[in-house]
Chain A
């Protein structure tokens, strides 16, 4: 692009406090700083909870908070200016414990009070989960330019319309003044869901000031140190046990660390709370949840969205209860698994058939779970096998789809018979550029090459919602399928035709968000993962030996894509459980690059086998449900249970690092 300018972000060097003064050197011609003084309308990143400014207000709430951009044409000169800008702060002490609560939710199912009163035994445990970094291989970045008055942003993003709406809000302009085009996305996993809106707002303000195209690409370290991650959590679970050694009620107290700004945290918290039962049914529940505010980098969306934390806790807890009550853990868990017709944690109904028993049978047989579990329970073998059972609600929680998103899709058939699939869904590796055309081509019975899916551009595609929450195939794909059916019925050769479809919630789905009551999701995907490990008693390192998973994702539309999602997801999930370690000390993240934030390499993965059982969902295209997040969820509990078996100690936090294994193994020294 001609006349390209570059931007570099100036960030806070303190964790908490206020900016006393900013000294900017005299700028050469054509060089600019852009900060909150340049904002035309609102200094808020429009997400769910509106508390995050995109240029610091002067009050600093976390390290590396963005203060201003330096913009110009020569990067060397920008670098010099950045070095010469002096900022003085008055520093305050940050808060890092649970003392600041921003959001509090509570819900009940049945009569937990009575259940606890009548309990034979009450068991309690507290679990902790750590930060996880998305570590997409392509860092965040945007190019922004202005044509007439209109601002166009091209970026590595998951949700073109989130970005567009945020920028419209920040500029206070009309909707047709902002255009967002998705560039090829180098992975995202949630990391490019809400965060890019912040950069987009900064750049939109900048382009309105300098009137030249601007490019801003994050450095890896900058990306790790300043973008959102998976919320750390503290989850305290209490179970009421009756005389039959069954759980009659669970009471849960959940705190997730939202970091300095709340953003999406409330939604992450609800997912976590709704997942409280795991893949089991408990008659009575009492669930309390908080988002806590600390002076660390804000946390946000990450594949699984609150569920991985909760599933780790509940799976470990179920195992723990079995042990405390001297029963076989497998049989105990089987007695509690959810069945069709059961009430969900939010007192909705599991309406569709549940294949858990089949999934468990396949996964345990293929992994030889039972015989290995028996063999490994002997001391001195240092091997373990762990099984996790899990589900994931597909689509937005509750009435999100019908009240907030109101997805729309469009099919445009050209005169020469090409069908353009116009949706805002983004392919970031999860394969929808294959799956969506496949759906359309099969329904219209035309070759797949005639079904066109391009990177979305908000000027051309309707708002089919963000590419998140395992909703794309089930919701967007479902709409696309309906549109394709309609197009087929009305197909006229040599004529341009347009079909638009809007999301309508299945009428039986009723959900009261404030009370957490009703059907939180239209459908659920299910899974079972078995992970086998060995632990080296000399170095305390865990080696993954084998992974077997079985899933019910409704119906697989493309086998290889599901396999790819399954393997990629479980590797992330297992690594979350034992390998990926990110910690912050008083707001300072210690692992700031890919050298120190360890993600798996080829040599860290084992053989993986994936089995898919069909269980078509009435409203999904060809019966498909969501698969994108599900596969990650079982990884951490399965690997933690396996390590627990190998070392015969109680694991209560992830990641289960070698350092933690050492502590556990020598806790009686």
Chain B
């Protein structure tokens, strides 16, 4: 019988994963909920586990000239306390769950879990972050917006693990995260939005938006974003409704137990508009 493993090195971990038999357990804040069984019985797991939160090789925050690189098992709390982590990502993290979850939850888990409502994913997509993926004999990188392909779907193979997340080391004049949840803490997003923007001489030089919880995956479209680039702020403000509506087709939410599609759609557009008004 295959049983759970708690490896002490990354190498050992990758070797185990090479058998394609295991599922990775990191902070557990998604996986333990999903495999919830009956109190005081073992969780309902599809595959045996390889625990990774103890791997120090994956627990780091580093700065290179091009990137801030974050090890996949680094906890949210650690990120909040680091001076290297971009402010907009911290602003996002502080809106995730509550302290008890933030002490153990990770970016790796948030990304691999690939929920359309994942808050960190929303911001990382806007930031054009790159996911570094590793198996025992390869390392590959992928843009996070390509890595996540649908509800709970990524390109991760059973023998792979997310090693790190690389965030391009660029400054933004505006970098905001907005979350609309059912309440002020411990809430899953009904809709969320990360917007990054640079302005030079009254002209937009960068515009990047990602929306959470409005479709099967966090939504973004560089082509739409580029329609803003090169425009003056006045041009955009004078035609604010037209510019806002350019995102309408990107926002394809559903009705569920948390909200309605009309609400999500409207609020997502309202938030873009409200952002433009702050420029």
Do A and B interact directly, with beta carbons closer than 8 Å? yes
> Among the listed B183, B258, B267, which residue makes an inter-chain contact with A540, where contact means beta carbons less than 8 Å apart?
B267
A604 CA to B183 CA in the complex, in Å? 7
If the complex has contacts A538-B270, A539-B270, A590-B257, are A598 and B187 also in contact, measured as CB distance less than 8 A?
Answer: yes
Cβ contact within 8 Å between A76 and B42:
yes
A603 CA to B99 CA in the complex, in Å? 13
A230 CA to B101 CA in the complex, in Å? 31
Cβ contact within 8 Å between A595 and B263:
no
Closest 4 CB pairs of A and B: A603-B184, A598-B182, A590-B257, A603-B185
Confirm or deny: B39 has a beta carbon within 8 angstroms of a beta carbon on chain A: yes
A299 CA to B259 CA in the complex, in Å? 24
Q: Name the distance in Å between A659's Cβ and chain B's nearest Cβ.
A: 4
1/0 per residue B250-275: CB within 8 Å of A?
A: 00000011111011001100110110
Cβ contact within 8 Å between A219 and B183:
no
If the complex has contacts A539-B180, A662-B262, are A76 and B267 also in contact, measured as CB distance less than 8 A?
Answer: no
A305 CA to B258 CA in the complex, in Å? 27
A666 partner residues in chain B, CB cutoff 8 A: 266
> Among the listed B183, B184, B188, B274, which residue makes an inter-chain contact with A538, where contact means beta carbons less than 8 Å apart?
B274
A79 partner residues in chain B, CB cutoff 8 A: 37-38, 41
With a 10 A CB-CB cut-off, give which of B182, B183, B266 has the most chain A CB atoms: B182
B40 partner residues in chain A, CB cutoff 8 A: 75
B12 partner residues in chain A, CB cutoff 8 A: none
1/0 per residue A585-617: CB within 8 Å of B?
A: 000001110011010111110000000000000
B257 partner residues in chain A, CB cutoff 8 A: 590-592, 596
With a 10 A CB-CB cut-off, give which of B183, B188, B256, B271 has the most chain A CB atoms: B183
Cβ contact within 8 Å between B41 and A600:
no
1/0 per residue A631-669: CB within 8 Å of B?
A: 000000000000000000000000000110010001000
A334 CA to B98 CA in the complex, in Å? 45
Confirm or deny: B186 has a beta carbon within 8 angstroms of a beta carbon on chain A: yes
Confirm or deny: A500 has a beta carbon within 8 angstroms of a beta carbon on chain B: no
Question: What is the number of contacts between chain A and chain B, taking CB atoms within 8 Å?
Answer: 66
Q: Name the distance in Å between B30's Cβ and chain A's nearest Cβ.
A: 12
13 contacts between A and B (CB under 8 A): A75-B40, A539-B271, A540-B263, A590-B256, A596-B257, A601-B98, A603-B183, A604-B183, A604-B185, A658-B263, A658-B267, A659-B260, A662-B266
With a 10 A CB-CB cut-off, give which of B37, B40, B188, B266 has the most chain A CB atoms: B266
Cβ contact within 8 Å between A659 and B259:
yes
A603 CA to B262 CA in the complex, in Å? 27
> Among the listed B42, B188, B258, B267, which residue makes an inter-chain contact with A539, where contact means beta carbons less than 8 Å apart?
B267
Cβ contact within 8 Å between B184 and A659:
no
Q: In the complex, which residue of chain A has the Cβ closest to the Cβ of B190?
A: A658
B183 partner residues in chain A, CB cutoff 8 A: 579, 598, 600-601, 603-604
B187 partner residues in chain A, CB cutoff 8 A: 598
A75 partner residues in chain B, CB cutoff 8 A: 38, 40-41
A169 CA to B37 CA in the complex, in Å? 35
B188 partner residues in chain A, CB cutoff 8 A: 595-596
If the complex has contacts A75-B40, A217-B39, are A602 and B185 also in contact, measured as CB distance less than 8 A?
Answer: yes
Confirm or deny: A57 has a beta carbon within 8 angstroms of a beta carbon on chain B: no
Confirm or deny: A192 has a beta carbon within 8 angstroms of a beta carbon on chain B: no
A590 CA to B259 CA in the complex, in Å? 11
If the complex has contacts A579-B183, A591-B257, A598-B183, are A538 and B38 also in contact, measured as CB distance less than 8 A?
Answer: no
If the complex has contacts A79-B38, A539-B267, A539-B271, are A601 and B262 also in contact, measured as CB distance less than 8 A?
Answer: no
A658 partner residues in chain B, CB cutoff 8 A: 180, 259, 263, 267
A590 CA to B258 CA in the complex, in Å? 9
Confirm or deny: A236 has a beta carbon within 8 angstroms of a beta carbon on chain B: no
A595 partner residues in chain B, CB cutoff 8 A: 188
For window 159-183 of chain B, which residues contact chain A by CB distance below 8 Å? Answer: 180, 182-183
Confirm or deny: A501 has a beta carbon within 8 angstroms of a beta carbon on chain B: no
A219 CA to B44 CA in the complex, in Å? 15
A579 partner residues in chain B, CB cutoff 8 A: 182-183
B41 partner residues in chain A, CB cutoff 8 A: 75-76, 79
A591 partner residues in chain B, CB cutoff 8 A: 257
Q: Name the distance in Å between A215's Cβ and chain B's nearest Cβ.
A: 10
Interface size on B, residues (CB 8 A): 28
Cβ contact within 8 Å between A601 and B186:
yes
A532 CA to B25 CA in the complex, in Å? 46
Q: In the complex, which residue of chain B has the Cβ closest to the Cβ of A222?
A: B38
1/0 per residue A488-532: CB within 8 Å of B?
A: 000000000000000000000000000000000000000000000
Confirm or deny: A541 has a beta carbon within 8 angstroms of a beta carbon on chain B: yes
Interface size on A, residues (CB 8 A): 28
B42 partner residues in chain A, CB cutoff 8 A: 76
Cβ contact within 8 Å between B185 and A538:
no
Q: Name the distance in Å between B33's Cβ and chain A's nearest Cβ.
A: 8
Confirm or deny: A8 has a beta carbon within 8 angstroms of a beta carbon on chain B: yes
> Among the listed B39, B180, B263, which residue makes an inter-chain contact with A219, where contact means beta carbons less than 8 Å apart?
B39
Q: Name the distance in Å between B232's Cβ and chain A's nearest Cβ.
A: 24
List 14 additional A-B contacts (Cβ < 8 Å) besides A76-B41, A590-B257, A595-B188. A8-B38, A75-B38, A538-B270, A538-B271, A539-B180, A541-B180, A590-B256, A596-B182, A598-B187, A601-B98, A601-B183, A603-B184, A662-B266, A666-B266
Q: Name the distance in Å between B273's Cβ and chain A's nearest Cβ.
A: 8
Cβ contact within 8 Å between A604 and B39:
no
Q: Name the distance in Å between A135's Cβ and chain B's nearest Cβ.
A: 13
A627 CA to B78 CA in the complex, in Å? 46
If the complex has contacts A76-B42, A538-B274, A596-B257, are A601 and B184 also in contact, measured as CB distance less than 8 A?
Answer: yes
1/0 per residue B33-73: CB within 8 Å of A?
A: 00001111110000000000000000000000000000000
B98 partner residues in chain A, CB cutoff 8 A: 601
A186 CA to B186 CA in the complex, in Å? 21
B267 partner residues in chain A, CB cutoff 8 A: 538-540, 658, 662
B263 partner residues in chain A, CB cutoff 8 A: 540, 658-659, 662
A601 CA to B181 CA in the complex, in Å? 13
With a 10 A CB-CB cut-off, give which of A75, A217, A579 has the most chain B CB atoms: A75
A540 partner residues in chain B, CB cutoff 8 A: 263, 267
Q: In the complex, which residue of chain B has the Cβ closest to the Cβ of A217?
A: B39
A71 CA to B257 CA in the complex, in Å? 33
A604 CA to B98 CA in the complex, in Å? 13
Q: In the complex, which residue of chain A has the Cβ closest to the Cβ of B44?
A: A79
Q: Name the distance in Å between B46's Cβ and chain A's nearest Cβ.
A: 15
A596 partner residues in chain B, CB cutoff 8 A: 182, 188, 257-258
B266 partner residues in chain A, CB cutoff 8 A: 662, 666
A56 CA to B109 CA in the complex, in Å? 43
1/0 per residue A47-87: CB within 8 Å of B?
A: 00000000000000000000000000001100100000000
Cβ contact within 8 Å between A604 and B271:
no
Q: In the complex, which residue of chain A has the Cβ closest to the Cβ of B257?
A: A590
B37 partner residues in chain A, CB cutoff 8 A: 79
Q: Name the distance in Å between A69's Cβ and chain B's nearest Cβ.
A: 14
A601 partner residues in chain B, CB cutoff 8 A: 98, 183-186
B273 partner residues in chain A, CB cutoff 8 A: 538
A393 CA to B263 CA in the complex, in Å? 40
A596 CA to B187 CA in the complex, in Å? 8
A604 partner residues in chain B, CB cutoff 8 A: 183-185
A600 CA to B181 CA in the complex, in Å? 12
Q: In the complex, which residue of chain A has the Cβ closest to the Cβ of B259?
A: A659
Q: In the complex, which residue of chain A has the Cβ closest to the Cβ of B273?
A: A538
Q: Name the distance in Å between B259's Cβ and chain A's nearest Cβ.
A: 6
A651 CA to B136 CA in the complex, in Å? 61
For window 295-343 of chain A, which residues contact chain B by CB distance below 8 Å? Answer: none
B38 partner residues in chain A, CB cutoff 8 A: 8, 75, 79, 219
Q: In the complex, which residue of chain B has the Cβ closest to the Cβ of A8?
A: B38
A662 partner residues in chain B, CB cutoff 8 A: 262-263, 266-267
For window 106-124 of chain A, which residues contact chain B by CB distance below 8 Å? Answer: none
For window 225-279 of chain B, which residues contact chain A by CB distance below 8 Å? Answer: 256-260, 262-263, 266-267, 270-271, 273-274
Q: Name the distance in Å between B263's Cβ and chain A's nearest Cβ.
A: 4
Q: In the complex, which residue of chain B has the Cβ closest to the Cβ of A658?
A: B263
A50 CA to B161 CA in the complex, in Å? 59
1/0 per residue A176-217: CB within 8 Å of B?
A: 000000000000000000000000000000000000000001
